[in-house]
Amino acid sequence: MKFKPTPAFYSILLLLILWQALAMLIGYPDLFPSVTGLLKTIVTMLADPAFYVSLVITILRGLTGFALALVLAGVLAAIALHHPFWKSFFHPWVVVMRSVPVISIVLIALLWLSPPGLPVFIAFFTMFPILYQNMLSGLEHTDGKLVEMAKVFNKNSLQRLRYIYFPSARTLMLAGVATAMGFGWRAVIIGEVLAGPVHGIGTSMKKAQAFIDMKTLLAWTVIAIVVSFIFDFLVKLLAQRSRKLRLSVTKKLAKTVILNIDRKEISINSLNKSFNDVPVLQNLNLSLSNDHIHLLKTASGSGKTTLMNIIAGILQKDSGTLVFSQSEPVISYAFQDKRLIPWLTVEQNIAFALPHFPQVNQEEKNRIGELIHAMELDNQQDKLPDALSGGEQQRTTLARALALPCHVLLLDEPLTGLGQDLKIKIIGEIDRFTRDNKPVIVWATHEEVEGLNAMKYQQTKQ
């Protein structure tokens, strides 16, 4: 393999040339060694077992402080994300930790901690505010509509963190890790220099300085820089690698539950909802059941999506009552604005609606395949949403809604913009889903819907 120099290579080469030129200009090897003299010192150190003891101990101290900071930052960031009170409560503490000079922390901690424990504490104290702030910022920049979608499909807090929040915040989190490790690594060595534990890079540097051994002092400095570069490289390598989620078919999961044994109803009484004091729903009274498909055919802006979002639990009503015949209704929703997860494929986005995602049983796997074929997405099932057309994204959203047996099926403009032949095919799939599950169906549309035979239509005007 032919070596191809990079800009970084030329930069390091220039640094070495300047170093050598300065060493020759000074002419005092004991004060400022040449590049060759420095390399000889490093080679000598590499042959000494004590070198590796000091190196490993310093790295372990840094990683221990990093691990403690990472865990605490992750927990507090997750708490702050969902609770404004705690976000405000944590903020002054984080600002203080970020603002206090490292040397002040070291000098104060010297009075409290033993020499081996001080560098760990310094690493934690230095890294925590950076990790916390980046984690919180990343979590807060997560698309709220994806979180709402996950709640509708009954994903718990841990599932939302794993599949929505963390992948969305990954870039900012890794940037925080890189920055924190850069600051923390230097802080660990400063702590070792001042605390003087038995082993460590900082301890070795302090000894070299005490004996005016510039070659050894500079050699340890170079080693510290190299280790820092290695950690930075590993973080960047991690950032470039994307962990691909895979669906796993397992026989341990129960078969898909068919929810067709009960009569299903939604009773809506005196429902009101306003936005910025502008009424959208006023004194709405509806009785919805699985005896009919309820078509909401009203003008844009009249509250169709608002009503469906209230039924789904995304929005809170201002007043009135909304009562389901089931105490814990299973709701499935084909959103007008798609809400597909960008880092999941078409197949995975459809499977996301299922209770045990990313595990599916064979019946669910077969159903996903049938939906992909019915929606004419066979050639797109392994693609990410960004690689799809608007119509393909819309069909993926509908397939996700039809993958989940449910008590209530909400369809918000599911056929808009589709060709007539494809509409007829998809309506047939909705007809099949209706016969199998007998849900309450609320369907917002501007179009005439023809070809669905499983139930009678009931057109609802708001």
Confidence of residue 254 (pLDDT cuts 50, 70, 90): low
Q: Are 424 and 451 in contact (CB under 8 A)?
A: yes
Question: Using CA atoms, how far apart are residues 99 and 102, in angstroms rounded to an integer?
Answer: 9
Residue in the block written with tokens 């309450």 = 440
Which pLDDT belongs to residue 455?
A: 44
Reported pTM: 0.81
Residues facing 265 on adjacent strands:
289
For 244-253, 376-385, 407-416, which range has the lowest pLDDT when averaged over its residues? 244-253
pLDDT tens across 402-426, in order?
A: 999 999 999 998 888 778 888 888 8
Give tens-digit pLDDT for 292-346.
888 887 777 678 889 999 999 999 998 999 999 888 899 999 998 889 999 999 9
194 vs 115: CA distance, rounded Å: 9
Contact status, residue 385 vs residue 348, Cβ threshold 8 Å? no
Task: Look over the chain and give the mean of its residue pLDDT values, rounded to a whole number.
Answer: 87
Token pair, residue 208, equals 């070299």
Helix pair 166-195, 49-82: axis angle to 10 deg: 140
Q: Are 164 and 81 in contact (CB under 8 A)?
A: no
Cis amide leading into 197 (omega within 30): no
For residues 290 and 263, the answer to whether their CB atoms sit within 8 Å is yes
Q: Find how far residue 292's CA is from the centre of its chain.
A: 40
Give the Å distances, CA to CA, from 253 to 122, 143, 256, 358: 48, 31, 9, 12
**Which pLDDT does position 280 carry in this prediction?**
87
Q: Please, which pLDDT band fits residue 450 given cuts at 50, 70 and 90?
A: low
Would the pLDDT of 128 be above 90? Answer: yes
Q: How many CB atoms lie within 10 A of CB 187?
A: 24
Alpha-carbon span 375 to 453, nearest angstrom: 19
Domains in the chain, CATH or no CATH each = 48-240 (1.10.3720.10), 265-460 (3.40.50.300)
Q: What is the mean pLDDT of residues 355-366?
A: 91
Residue 328: predicted pLDDT: 87
Smallest Cα–Cα separation from 68: which of 10, 146, 121, 22? 121
Q: Is 151 exposed, middle or buried (0-12, 13-18, 19+ CB in 10 A)?
A: middle
What six digits make up the tokens of 263? 């009569």
- Above 70 in pLDDT, residue 356? yes
Q: What is the pLDDT of residues 14-60, one digit of tens each?
A: 888 888 888 888 888 878 888 888 889 999 999 999 999 999 999 99
For residue 461, is pLDDT > 50?
no
pLDDT exceeds cutoff 50 at 145 = yes
How far CA 357 is from CA of 332, 351, 364, in Å, comes to 15, 6, 10
